[in-house]
């Protein structure tokens, strides 16, 4: 499904992926405890205990920030996630180690 807007007098189609990323960008997660994490279609998906929302984002691999390990391969139930609203960085605390994911 696509989303269409008018930009400078032209119709521009925005894929749903951009809309999902924008919603994730606006979201705030303060010390959320992961219920589960799994891969999506080119994305990582996870759910926080006590929330109905399933979060989905496209994390970038980075040698220094996350050892080039995908979010869903590191994250386990019980790990902590921190993400501030309008931030492009998600922090995962896993077994006393901190991983940061840009998207």
Domain extents in the chain: 17-102
Per the DSSP assignment, residues forming a β-bridge with 40 are: none
* Cα–Cα separations (whole angstroms), residue 1 to 12, 13, 24: 14, 10, 18
Per the DSSP assignment, residues forming a β-bridge with 45 are: 38, 56
pTM passes above 0.85: no
Cβ count within 10 A of residue 77: 12
pLDDT score, position 58: 87
Q: For 48-64, how does the pLDDT look when each residue is reduced to its tens digit (9 = 90+)?
A: 999 999 998 888 878 88
The better pLDDT of the pair 22, 32 is held by 32
pLDDT score, position 4: 46
């Amino acid at each position: 499904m696509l989303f269409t807007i008018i930009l400078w007098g032209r119709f521009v189609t925005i894929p749903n992926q951009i809309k999902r990323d924008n919603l994730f960008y606006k979201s705030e997660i303060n010390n959320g405890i992961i219920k589960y994490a799994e891969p999506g279609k080119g994305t990582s998906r996870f759910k926080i205990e006590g929330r109905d929302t399933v979060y989905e984002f496209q994390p970038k691999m980075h040698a220094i920030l996350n050892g080039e390990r995908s979010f869903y391969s590191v994250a386990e139930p019980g790990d902590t996630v921190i993400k501030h609203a309008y931030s492009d960085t998600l922090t995962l605390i896993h077994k006393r180690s901190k991983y940061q994911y840009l998207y």
